[in-house]
Amino acid sequence: MTKIKLEFEKLSIHRPKERWKLYFVIVAEHPTDAEKMVVTTLPESEIMRLKPSQGNVLHFEPKGEAADGMFIIERDMPADRRMSVRVYLRHSRKSVRTTGEILGEIEKEMGSDAFGTVTNLLGVTGSPWLVVSKYAMGAIGKVLRRIKDRDFGFVSMDEEFGDEFENQTELDRENTFSTGEASIVWSWSTE
């Protein structure tokens, strides 16, 4: 069966400040249950620190041939050849912010629409994923607003794996987060 993979390649912050403590909140379709979504944060324990010497740009993909970026999701191709993924970018006001802490806050706020955490669900990251009801997705943004971290907004990384993947196995995409204060380059690939 064909596998699909999502990687982050580059993150740019469009603000004058040059010191950031960043993390992503990833929301994706559950690989086996169409009524559910899964949520995690990356990196799992260490916050990404940007310093003035980096010029507000974080490269996840090293220079060189056939280099990979930061692996986010790997799973079997969905039957309808479509994948829905939302990514939120946050700046932590704390020096340490862990996946368990954030998922605990989300789970508490979502109540009966949260179904506990699982691991090794979407392949490569090994991070725990909180399983939530697909119909409670609107609550994720509301819950994140209650966490006292700076919100850079979200970006949709939805993909329909059409004919363009027949001739090319990896396609780069770029978009700006909903606040306009950051942008990201990512790639979807098939194997």
User: What's the rounded Cα separation, in Å, for the pair 137 and 85?
Assistant: 12
- What pLDDT does 104 receive? 86
Instruction: Return the higher-pLDDT residue of 100 and 7.
Output: 7
Residue ranges per structural domain of the chain: 3-166
- Mean pLDDT rounded to a whole number for the chain: 87
User: 118-142 pLDDT, tens per residue?
Assistant: 887 776 666 788 899 888 777 788 8
User: 136-170 pLDDT, tens per residue?
Assistant: 777 788 888 888 889 999 999 999 998 888 877 78
The answer on pLDDT for 66 being more than 70 is no
Please give the share of the chain, as a percent, with pLDDT higher than 70. 96
User: What's the rounded Cα separation, in Å, for the pair 48 and 42?
Assistant: 9
- What pLDDT does 124 receive? 61
For the chain, what's the residue count? 191
Kindly report whether the global pTM for this prediction surpasses the value 0.75: yes
Q: Where is mean pLDDT largest: 31-45, 106-120, 170-184?
A: 170-184
Work out the average pLDDT over 48-55: 90
Residues 6+ apart with CB under 8 A from 99: 40, 41, 42, 44, 45, 127, 128
- What pLDDT does 4 receive? 92
